[in-house]
Amino acid sequence: MPTRSLPATFMRGGTSNGLVIHRHHLPSDVEKWQPILSSAMGSPDPFGRQLDGMGSGISSTSKVCVVSKSTRSDADVDYTFVQVGIKDGSLDLAGNCGNMSSAIGPWAYNEGLLKFGGEGGRRTVSVRVFNTNTGKIILASFEVDGEGFVGEGTYALDGVPGTGSRITLEFLDPSGAKTGRGALPTGKGVDVVKLNDGSSIEATLSDVANPGVFVRAEDLGVEGDINPAKMEEQPELMARLEAIRQKGAELMGLDPTTQTIPKIAIISRPTEKDDESVNVVVRALSMQQPHKAVPLTLALNLGAASRVKGTLPAQVARSLEGQSVTVAHPTGKLEVGGVFGEDGAIKSALLHRTARVLMKGDVFYSVKE
């Protein structure tokens, strides 16, 4: 198999990292991306390590972002998110990654895809990012100076060591991001999900920023703050969660075999062990792996669902005040905000991230002739 290469930037976005690539450096036919991107990330890898590529064997670090200047009147850049299957090398373009979304504006600015007038000193700019996976606009605001994106700053992000400059992401009109059926695709705050083994469980099926399935920890017989490693040690629990996720997908009108959406999360009410600012506790799965933090779009979904009367998140959430919801995850907490109209419709979902350029150059891949 001959080895080839293409220009790429390796970036951290929020609590994820991955490759960011110019659209014109990839084949025009998306179907031809698979052997290139999977090889670059080190997949397929039956050992699950991605030792032969840029990935590191977990879903939050097996990601690729493809970006181009937009031809849309309402956007500056177009961005396609690609989740690379670790063991099978499959490409999943079904949903978006909120964490890597924070890297898109800074990368596009550094690459010269964006032009802003004004002074050349340190200042904040806003970029309209069109996510092709969900068909939604994300407004990204971040700091730049005469040399490009300013990554240094004082904003601390749980799950990421050190500090960086704050990036604000505002997901505009996020409801129905994938189903097109609004925030509650089934029209219910709570659905009874019936499983093939004859059992059933209550779940909230919500589609804000990305689709999600939310179930109560107590209904699964687990502690709400269960350690992700402990979850992996319970194959029956993991299998049950995947079965619930797939049935939830069917009820939402989604393909149950697609791993990236909907994601499933275990939610619970905070206890005396949690910070007083925490409103809801979550343990999330991504690609059938317990997440070390929480997928960003799922956190946005959870925050919005906590504000919708009758949902499970609203039932377990503690003392909600103002427009923001603080979510506790395995490595800290995350505050997500939302703007609601008088009719209760979700106008936007907002949160803060940091990002950093880790490396820039050529990424090598192998293809079969």
What pLDDT score was predicted for residue 369? 66
State whether 161 and 229 are in the same domain.
no
Q: Return the DSSP state at 265.
A: E
Q: Return the DSSP state at 85.
A: P
- Segment 34-39 shows an average pLDDT of 98
Residue 345 has pLDDT above 90, yes or no: no
Residue 83 lies in a domain: yes
H/E run at residue 106 = helix 98-110
State whether 327 and 360 are in the same domain.
no
Distance CA 67, CA 97 (A): 14
SS (H, E, C) 336-347: EEEEECCCCCEE
Residue 158 lies in a domain: yes
Residue 92 lies in a domain: yes
Which of the residue ranges 67-76, 118-127, 202-211 would you say has the lowest mean pLDDT?
Answer: 118-127
Residue 33 lies in a domain: yes
Count of domains for the chain: 2
State whether 72 and 202 are in the same domain.
no
State whether 46 and 141 are in the same domain.
yes
Q: What predicted TM-score, i.e. pTM, was given to this entire model?
A: 0.89
Residue 180 lies in a domain: no
State whether 66 and 215 are in the same domain.
no
What pLDDT score was predicted for residue 344? 74
Residue 12, exposed/middle/buried by CB under 10 A (0-12, 13-18, 19+)? buried
SS (H, E, C) 147-185: CEECCCCCEECCCCCCEECCEEEEEECCECCCCCCCCCC
What's the token pair of residue 272? Answer: 């005396």
State whether 82 and 224 are in the same domain.
no
What pLDDT score was predicted for residue 367? 85
Q: What is the amino acid identity at position 237?
A: L
The domain in which residue 122 lies consists of 3-166+355-366
State whether 196 and 153 are in the same domain.
no
State whether 322 and 215 are in the same domain.
yes
State whether 122 and 49 are in the same domain.
yes
Q: How does pLDDT run across 245-263, given as a tens digit for each residue?
A: 999 999 999 999 999 999 9
Residue 227 lies in a domain: yes
Query: 244: closest CA among 214, 217, 270, 208?
Result: 214
State whether 205 and 331 are in the same domain.
yes
Q: What is the CATH number of the domain that holds 293?
A: 3.10.310.10
State whether 42 and 106 are in the same domain.
yes
State whether 86 and 156 are in the same domain.
yes
The CB-based long-range contact list for 148-154 (8 Å cut-off, 24+ gap) reads 148/106, 148/109, 148/110, 149/106, 149/107, 149/109, 149/110, 149/355, 149/357, 150/122, 151/106, 151/354, 151/355, 151/356, 151/357, 153/354
Residue 181 lies in a domain: no
Cα separation values, 216 from 3, 15, 68, 73, 284, Å: 48, 25, 41, 42, 12
What pLDDT score was predicted for residue 20? 98
Residue 92 has pLDDT above 90, yes or no: yes
Query: 25: closest CA among 59, 66, 53?
Result: 66
Residue 182 lies in a domain: no
- Segment 38-45 shows an average pLDDT of 98
What pLDDT score was predicted for residue 323? 75
Residue 315 has pLDDT above 80, yes or no: yes
User: Model confidence at 327, in pLDDT bands (50, 70, 90)?
Assistant: very high
Contact residues for 225 (Cβ-Cβ < 8 A; gap 6+):
268, 271, 273, 274, 281, 283, 328
